Amino acid sequence: MQLFIDSADVAELRAAAASGLIDGVTTNPSLIAKSGRNMKEAIAEICSIIPGPVSAEAVATDVEGMLNEGRYLARIASNVVVKLPLTENGLRACRTLSDEGIKVNVTLCFSAVQAMLAAKAGAYFISPFIGRLDDKGEDGMELIHDIRQVYDNYGFGTNVLAASIRTPEHVKQCALAGADCATLPPKIFAQLYKHELTDSGVAAFLKDWASTGQSIL
């Protein structure tokens, strides 16, 4: 499963990229606003740090506006993926941009039927929001399973990009459910390394080694 970082903070992204484990980035208007950066400059720099897909979101709500913004965003760098909302206008714009060879990430997906429509509209990624469904008392992970089954049933090539990830357990469950990718806040990515038995095991090995008085080099 590919791992993306959900951030527009260049320092965070450089640190994550240094791991060699990051496959892409997702951004949104809220993350850009939080960064305080000019959007075009921020996206261009992020695309230079991470060679994989970088999602940049249009903010227009009408089809023509989405198309104009989407084409503009796609020209920033070759690895930009245009992010559009799962609305009727968003899917109409997705169809046109996809036909033009521009990759589209359809976001804010909350049902398998929505995901099916996005695939039919040519979406490259579909972004189901797990955590937000959990917040409403629903089972967000069930949505990943349902989308995976629908896509496999009909041979849709759209990639399932699990979003609104809240815990390492979400990441595990997404991998088990067959999600193609998951986008994580930097703090959740950092937690993937952690396990108390790993830490205690390293401490024990180091203690035993120190008792030998030896040096490897």
Q: What is residue 38's predicted lDDT score, i.e. its pLDDT?
A: 93
Check the CA dihedral 131-134-136-139 and report its sign: positive
How many domains are there within the chain?
1
Tell me whether residue 49 is in a domain: yes
Residue 9: both structure tokens together: 């903070």
Which parts of the chain register pLDDT below 70?
Answer: none
Q: What is residue 171's predicted lDDT score, i.e. its pLDDT?
A: 98
Residue 118: both structure tokens together: 């996005």
Is position 40 annotated as part of the catalytic site?
Answer: no
pTM metric for this prediction: 0.94
Q: What is residue 170's predicted lDDT score, i.e. its pLDDT?
A: 97
Residue 183: both structure tokens together: 């986008």
What tens digit of pLDDT does each residue of 90-103 get?
999 999 999 999 99
Q: What is residue 9's predicted lDDT score, i.e. its pLDDT?
A: 95
Tell me whether residue 182 is in a domain: yes
Q: What is residue 10's predicted lDDT score, i.e. its pLDDT?
A: 94
Q: Kindly report the CATH number assigned to the domain that includes residue 10.
A: 3.20.20.70
Task: Write the Ramachandran bin of 15: left for phi over 0, alpha for psi from -120 to 50, otherwise beta.
Answer: alpha
Q: What is residue 119's predicted lDDT score, i.e. its pLDDT?
A: 98
Tell me whether residue 156 is in a domain: yes
**Type of residue found at 143:** L
Among 34, 40, 83, 120, which one carries the catalytic annotation? 83
Tell me whether residue 217 is in a domain: no
Which domain range does residue 43 map to?
2-212
CA dihedral defined by 61, 67, 72, 75, rounded to 10 degrees? 140
What tens digit of pLDDT does each residue of 100-136 get?
999 999 999 999 999 999 999 999 999 999 999 999 9
Q: What is residue 26's predicted lDDT score, i.e. its pLDDT?
A: 98
